[in-house]
A = this chain, B = another copy of it.
Amino acid sequence: MNLHPGTSLIQPYAVDLDLEMGIMKNAKQHTVRRASDMSGHYADQTALEQLIKDGDPVHYEVFECLPPEEYGQIFFCISTLQPGKVGDEYFMTKGHYHTVPHTGEIYLCLRGEGYMLMKTSDGQFAYQRFHRGGIVYVPPYWAHRSVNTGKEPLVSFCTYNAEAGHNYGDIEKEGFIKRVLEVSGRPLIQ
C-alpha cells in the first residue's frame, strides 16, 4: 500500500457521545469556558463582571477527539453552550477563524436553538438558525460563533479538517459585526 507523505495510517476507533447531555464520554480534550474567559466579547462588560462575581458560570464546553493534525484526517467535537444572558446579550462562544483559513466546518445541531453568526475578514456577514436536526455549513474563510437564544443547552456536533487550527486572536480584535440581543423578549440580530 502506498502511504502519502504527511498522512499517517492509524487504526480505526470509536467514541461515544451522550446526544442529549452534549458530552463525549472518552474525549481526549475537554475545554471549559466560563464567564471569566469571555472578557471583551460582550457589549456589556459591567454585566459580565457582575456575572463573574456571582459565581462565574460555565458558558460552554467542547469535547474533542484529536487524530493527527494531518491532511485527510478529520477532527470532531461536541459542543454544549449553556443558556443565559450577559445584560441583554445571549451567551455565545468566542468564535474563531481557522489558522488555515481556506478550511470549512460542519455543525449538526442536536438540541436547543440559536444562531450561528459568520463573518469574513473583509466584512461580509451571514447567519443561520440552529435547531434540532439543522446542519449549518460554514464554508472556508468564514469565522463562526454560536449563540444560544433558547432555554436549554445548545448541543452541536462539529467536524473539520484536522489541519485547520483555531485562530481566536483576529476575532478578539475585530469583533463580529453583529450581536444577538434580547429585545422585547425575543432574539434580535443587530
Of the candidates B12, B65, B71, B134, which one forms a contact with A17 in the assembled complex, judged by CB atoms under 8 Å apart? Answer: B134
CB-CB < 8 A to A108: which residues of B?
17, 76, 108, 157
Q: Does A40 contact B (CB under 8 A)?
A: no
**Copies of this chain present:** 2
Which residues of A in the span 104-162 have a Cβ within 8 Å of any Cβ on B?
Answer: 104-106, 108, 110, 116, 118, 120-122, 126, 128-129, 132-142, 157, 159-161
The answer to whether B118 touches A12, judged by C-beta atoms less than 8 angstroms apart, is yes
Question: Residues of A within 8 Å of B, CB-based: how many?
Answer: 56
Residue of B nearest to A70 (CB): B140
**Measured between alpha carbons, how far is A106 from B141 in the docked complex, in Å?**
22
Of residues 66 through 104 on chain A, the ones whose CB sits less than 8 Å from some CB of chain B are 67, 71-74, 76, 100-104
Residues of B within 8 A of A8 (CB): 139-140
- Given A1-B120, A159-B74, check contact A136 B12 (CB 8 Å): yes
Q: Does A9 contact B (CB under 8 A)?
A: yes
The answer, yes or no, to whether A10 is at the interface (CB within 8 Å) is yes
| CB closest residue in chain B, given A127 | B12
Assuming A16-B133, A136-B12, A141-B1, is B72 touching A7 (CB within 8 A)? no
* One of B12, B74, B104, B133 near A73 (C-beta < 8 A): B104
Q: Which of B74, B120, B121, B141 contacts A104 (CB 8 A)?
A: B74
Q: Which residues of chain B have C-beta atoms less than 8 A from A137's C-beta?
A: 12-15, 65, 67, 74, 76
* B14 and A136 form a contact (CB under 8 A): yes
Contacts of A121 in B (CB 8 A): 1
Tell me whether A73 and B122 are in contact (CB under 8 A): no
The 3 closest A-B pairs by CB, nearest first: A7-B102, A72-B140, A4-B102
